[in-house]
Structure 1
Amino acid sequence: MTVYGIPNCNTVKKSLDWLKANQIDFEFHDFKKKGITTEKLNEWCNIFGWETVLNRKGLTWKKLTKEEQAAINNQDLAIAYLKENTSAIKRPVIEQNNKAVLIGFDEDNYLKTLI
């Protein structure tokens, strides 16, 4: 299992704490340090939808002008933006067997999917 995120994100911290408490082994991929590929972003967008992968609640998104936000209106544009601004990726993304199964943190979904 791989957990994608950034270590100083509160939602990622909650997720990692939950995984550790439930004794679930994982590898952590810090996409601030290691980056993220266009292919991986496309995979996630195809599974969750680009509007879910794009974190519109975060500070990175909110720093954009209304015009800049409005201009990101399809998957290709969202992926281009996310490649350059990895902090705007909704996190964490959890993959099992190289396939994304969860995005964000919701304990009920974690229980259903991972246990």
Structure 2
Amino acid sequence: MKLFSYSSCSTCRRAIKWLENNDIPFELIDILGIPPTKAMLVSASEVYGGRKYLLNTSGLIYRTIGSEVVKKMSDKEFFEKLFIEPRLIKRPFLYKSNKCLLVGFKEEKWAEKLL
């Protein structure tokens, strides 16, 4: 299981602590150095029912680009942009399989999927 995280993200730190407290093994990956693959991102958008759920809408990069520009992107452009600019990806991003992905940290949802 891979956990894509950003060291200064408090939500990521809470997710790491939760995984450790529940003895769930994971590989910690710096999302800026090694972002999730485009295939992982596409799978996450399918699992969540739309690409909007993958976006870190509170981040500076997203606000700089603007929601209207993002909405007009084709899927190909959208996933390429996330891969090139991983700060756009909502964190943490947990990948277990193409059908088991978690974006963001909600303890109840993580417990449902992982415990």
Alpha-carbon distance, 1:66 to partner = 5.8
Alpha-carbon distance, 1:99 to partner = 4.3
- 1:91 aligns with 91
- 1:71 aligns with 72
RMSD (Å), alpha carbons: 2.1
d(CA) in 2 for partners of 1:39 and 1:17? 27
Alignment of 1:19-98 (within 5 A): 19-48=19-48, 49-65=50-66, 68-72=69-73, 74-97=74-97
5+ residue gaps, structure 1, are: none
Q: TM (normalized to structure 2)?
A: 0.82
d(CA) in 1 for partners of 2:35 and 2:24? 24
5+ residue gaps, structure 2, are: none
How many positions carry a matched residue from both structures? 114
d(CA) in 2 for partners of 1:36 and 1:97? 12
- 2:102 aligns with 102
8 Å Cα contact 1:54/1:78 also seen in 2: no
Change (3 A) 1:98 1:47: closer
Change (3 A) 1:108 1:96: same
d(CA) in 2 for partners of 1:84 and 1:58? 15
